[in-house]
Amino acid sequence: MELYLDLCSQPCRSVFLVAKALNVPFEFKHVDLAAGQHYTEEFGKISSMRKVPVMKDGDFILTESTAILDYMVQKHKGPDHWFPSELQSRARVNEYLSWQHTNLRANGSKVFLLRLVFPMMMGSEAPKEKMDAAMEELNTSLSLLENYFLRDKPFIIGDKVSVADIVAVAEIMQPVGTGVDVFAGRPKLSAWRDRVKGHLGEELFKEANEVIMRITELPQHMDKTALEMMKPKYQKMFS
């Protein structure tokens, strides 16, 4: 199995963490998003989506992180708690995976883009009103994670960790990498994060998040040609 990943991406970290936790044998294929490698002709032969993660298992190619997670758990017979067979527990996992794309993931990414990418592409800090609005949306998503999905349970589906927890913790680390303390005043969320980290192991958690925790160094290492190539897209988006 080949996994095409860039660990600065939340979905890629989710796939990486679950693959490692399940001891799935795979070859790590680094696709450098900052260098625009997902736009190359070579990567286009792997996936016309031009996005990561991508899984290649023999001749079978799969995109979309949640589909890849399900596939890996099913193929490698992971413990049932990762993607439960019991109907209602599985529905809870799918409920979170359906919700997160346009909520916690989207809002964490928005904060990430405004804090890190906006200054690179626009030459100035993001306007305060845009940043404040993005933080408000992120905090709304964090509150829903705490008060709806977690409630008083150790993990999203109950007493055991699932892929939903891995996806959620990968998403939370995205704004953390830019210096946003999403855990401030949220002891329940902090305790949950520590339980997920404890299940994965300190070494694996650190390995998966090392890139994002150094992401503020990206501008000084970014390829100038790649930066100029991506500027029009981001300038249009930010405008």
Q: In this structure, are residues 171 and 141 in contact, taking their beta carbons and an 8 Å threshold?
A: no
- β pairing state of 27-30 and 2-5: parallel
Report all structural domains of the chain as residue ranges with CATH numbers, in order of start: 2-75 (3.40.30.10), 87-238 (1.20.1050.10)
| Contact indicator for 176, 13 with CB cutoff of 8 Å | no
For 125, the token pair is 């800090």
| % of the chain surpassing 70 pLDDT | 97
> Does the pTM exceed 0.85?
yes
Cβ 118 vs Cβ 125: under 8 Å: yes
Q: Mean pLDDT, the chain, as a whole number?
A: 93
> What pLDDT is recorded for position 235?
76
Lowest-pLDDT range, 14-18, 111-115, 222-226? Answer: 222-226
Judging by beta carbons within 10 Å of its beta carbon (0-12, 13-18, 19+), is residue 174 exposed, middle or buried?
buried
Give residue 239's pLDDT: 75
